[in-house]
A and B are shown apart, each in its own frame.
Chain A
Amino acid sequence: MNSKRERILQRLRSAAQPHAGEGMPAIRDTDLYANHPAQEDLVERFGAKLASLKGEFFRVREVRQAAECVKELLAPFAAASKKICLRQPHALIDEVIAQEAWIREHTTPLENELSNEAFAQFEAGITTADFLIARTGSLVLNAVTAGGRRLSVLPPLHIVIATARQAVASLEEALAQIGNIATASYTAIITGPSRTSDIEKILVLGVHGPKRLAVIVIENSDPNL
């Protein structure tokens, strides 16, 4: 096996270098992209972009209102006292859940390893995110901070509870942070609900991933959460 590796590398090393010395160019989002978001309207830009990609965007002042949003989103799925939603155990989410007994009854925290079969029974998943990217309307989340890999992709409805402090202007800023905190095995950059145009270029949402993506951004949250 090692000899294959060596043979491949040897062929590459022995080749002449036609471009030698050009150096690696710096890549700056502010130089590349039109309409770089201003610091004061990051959340607004994020929300507008997400909505244009058919994501659902809620901007609320307090956790209390966030809880109302969650209840409204989950209500159509509710069957008598059945758990319909998995939620990531996380201080901010717990705080929102604590506002509303109804949500507590219908959701269950994802604490242990759960089989794929059991996982597939749930209608919705609630996670946090690490960053909201204003320019592209993207969320960044990882397998440690968002309850693993499946919670944000397997259930048909993905609800994200985030804070205004998590908004950044560009992909460049988010990537710099991922580089610094790469402590998870998996990071996803999510831009709108699952989509396809494979059939005659007709846009259809929810092909394999979530059909709906709802992002709730809380303005005044406890900075410790």
Chain B
Amino acid sequence: MTEQQHFLQLSSQKAADETHRFKIAKAIATYDAAVGNTKKGQFKNWEEARTLAAQNKNYALEHLPELLEQFEKNFTAAGGKVFWAENSKEAAEYIVALAQRHRARKVVKSKSMTTEEIHLNERLENIGIAVWESDLGELIVQLAGEKPYHIVTPAMHKTKEEIGVLFNEQLHAPLTTNAEELTMVARRHLREAYITSSVGITGANFLIADAGAIVVTENEGNARLTMSCPPVHVAVVGIEKIIPRLSDLSLFLPLLATSGTGQEITCYNSIVFGPQRNDELDGPTEMHVVLLDNGRSQLYQRERFREILRCIRCGACLNACPVYRTVGGHSYRTTYQGPIGSVITPHYNGFEKFQHLAAASSLCGACSSVCPVHIDIHHLLLENRALAIEQCSPSWFWRAAMRIYAWMMAKPKRLQLVRRFARLLQPLSPKRMQAPRLGKKSFREIWRANEFKA
């Protein structure tokens, strides 16, 4: 089956699944209420804040090569190591080799979409290294043998009943549906991972050029433990995560928290400048940052698409998207789901496989209207549609259909003729996409017959 066929099949299943719809609607309603309150309560003017953030990221992108070099210079001076990876294979191999060098049998990870992107878990597990996901949501999807459902809330699609059964079967915990008890099961289960792992693996939300630091945002404390207890810390970070100054965090931390979860600021924000120093009592003695390109520099070269690299992975566009809410995160079969995923996935993983995602949008623009860095997401989806035609030669059927469409739309008379046929053919349209029935007479016919005289 092609990716497109998978997508169509999975999304029609999910769209008809009322339990799924109820779960997602409930989670997103909670999110919407929190975000609405925080935008109003925290910011003087949310629109101005996101314009400022977009300007800052534009500046960072404009100076991307210099800022990356500045980060590298400062971070290296503090004793950190930087590895530039052109693709996911190089990034994963570097980390696998690092883990082998330290004879790791176990690594502990905090939530990171870039490590999902490079399929790090599979590669480590293939050589017998156990991977402990420590974010609660990530742990749940790992135990269920699934991929994250959402880039910010990976287990959004699971009920506490389902998680209770999962923890009972996999972790031998007493059966419960109490969220607090379930969370404590995860706490006890993961203590050992922090304490005994040889390598801690994280992503990062920001790279700070002037400070030579990475910033990791979280609520649970699992990332802090992952960066504090094991003797080696490695962070996998996309090259577009750079911001120029440490002081820019006074905008970006509240902005990301507001759009990500509706908090004013997340519980823990760690700024990591390098490995343990001489006057410090603990911390990893080695720290590595893998700067991941994996298609980002090609996207950077496409002027029209450059702005997508402003993305700070807050997940707001997923929550706002009527398509995502209907088909769910797993139907995409991509690392990044929803509108942001539909824009970047074909660029990273090939238009041949993923061009259909450009059509997984109603073009309503809800994604663009909530984006905290003002990315014109829905217009980029339109750009992807155009690129898809350029890059993948369309089928004869598509070309013929477009010819007929162009002919039909060129003259009003032709359109009228077609409408007659459409009324006759309507009963043949597939059940799952039934449109409202066409009227007996067209507007034009009613007008002509003078039936408007009231």
Q: Known contacts being A4-B84, A34-B41, A199-B179, is A148 close to B282, with CB within 8 Å? A: yes
Give the contacting residue for B140; candidates A150, A198, A208; CB below 8 A.
A198
B92, CB-defined interface residue at 8 Å? no
In Å, the complex CA distance between A198 and B30 comes to: 12
B90, CB-defined interface residue at 8 Å? yes
Indicate the member of A112, A175, A185, A209 with the most B CB atoms within 10 Å. A185
Nearest to A9 among chain B residues (CB) is B65
In Å, the complex CA distance between A187 and B318 comes to: 31
Of the A-B pairs whose beta carbons lie under 8 Å apart in the complex, a sample of 29, sorted by A's number, is: A7-B86, A12-B297, A20-B62, A22-B55, A23-B59, A25-B55, A32-B251, A33-B44, A33-B254, A113-B281, A144-B279, A148-B283, A154-B228, A170-B250, A171-B265, A175-B246, A179-B246, A185-B79, A185-B275, A186-B270, A186-B273, A189-B269, A194-B221, A196-B136, A198-B183, A200-B26, A200-B179, A208-B222, A209-B267
Give the contacting residue for B224; candidates A15, A17, A24, A153; CB below 8 A.
A153
A107, CB-defined interface residue at 8 Å? no
**Which secondary structure characterizes the binding site on chain A?**
loop
B4, CB-defined interface residue at 8 Å? no
Chain A 114-158 near chain B by CB (<8 Å), digits 1 or 0 = 101100100000000000000010100001100111110110000
Which B residues are within 8 Å of any A CB, using their own CB? Answer: 26-27, 30-31, 41-44, 48-49, 52, 55-56, 58-59, 61-62, 64-65, 68-69, 78-79, 83-86, 90, 134-137, 140, 153-155, 158-160, 163, 179-180, 182-184, 186-187, 190-191, 194-196, 210-211, 219-222, 224-225, 227-229, 239, 244, 246-251, 253-254, 261, 264-277, 279-283, 287, 291, 293, 297-298, 300-301, 303, 306
Is B300 a contact of A195 with CB atoms below 8 Å? Answer: no
Q: Which residues of B contact A154 (CB under 8 A)?
A: 194, 225, 228-229
Q: Which residues of B contact A176 (CB under 8 A)?
A: 247
State the Cβ distance, B225 to closest chain A Cβ, in Å. 6
Q: Which residues of A contact B69 (CB under 8 A)?
A: 9
* 3 smallest beta-carbon distances between A and B, as pairs: A209-B221, A149-B228, A148-B281
Give the contacting residue for B283; candidates A18, A143, A200; CB below 8 A.
A143
State the Cβ distance, A190 to closest chain B Cβ, in Å. 6
A79, CB-defined interface residue at 8 Å? no
Q: A8-B84, A32-B44, A201-B30 are in contact. List 11 more A-B contacts (CB 8 A).
A: A8-B293, A9-B68, A11-B300, A27-B250, A34-B43, A143-B281, A199-B140, A200-B179, A204-B183, A208-B134, A209-B224
State the Cβ distance, A47 to closest chain B Cβ, in Å. 16
Q: Which residues of B contact A136 (CB under 8 A)?
A: 254, 264-265
Is B58 a contact of A22 with CB atoms below 8 Å? Answer: yes
Is A189 a contact of B273 with CB atoms below 8 Å? Answer: no
Indicate the member of A33, A151, A201, A208 with the most B CB atoms within 10 Å. A208
State the Cβ distance, A211 to closest chain B Cβ, in Å. 9
A188, CB-defined interface residue at 8 Å? yes
In Å, the complex CA distance between A179 and B247 comes to: 8
Q: Which residues of A contact B250 (CB under 8 A)?
A: 27, 29, 32, 170-172, 175
State the Cβ distance, B146 to closest chain A Cβ, in Å. 14
Q: Which residues of A contact B182 (CB under 8 A)?
A: 199
Q: Known contacts being A32-B251, A184-B277, is A199 close to B155, with CB within 8 Å? A: yes
Give the contacting residue for A175; candidates B58, B59, B229, B249; CB below 8 A.
B249
Q: Which residues of A contact B251 (CB under 8 A)?
A: 27, 32
Give the contacting residue for B187; candidates A153, A179, A208; CB below 8 A.
A208
State the Cβ distance, A51 to closest chain B Cβ, in Å. 14
A191, CB-defined interface residue at 8 Å? yes
Is B301 a contact of A24 with CB atoms below 8 Å? Answer: no
Q: Which residues of B contact A53 (CB under 8 A)?
A: 267
Nearest to B248 among chain A residues (CB) is A27
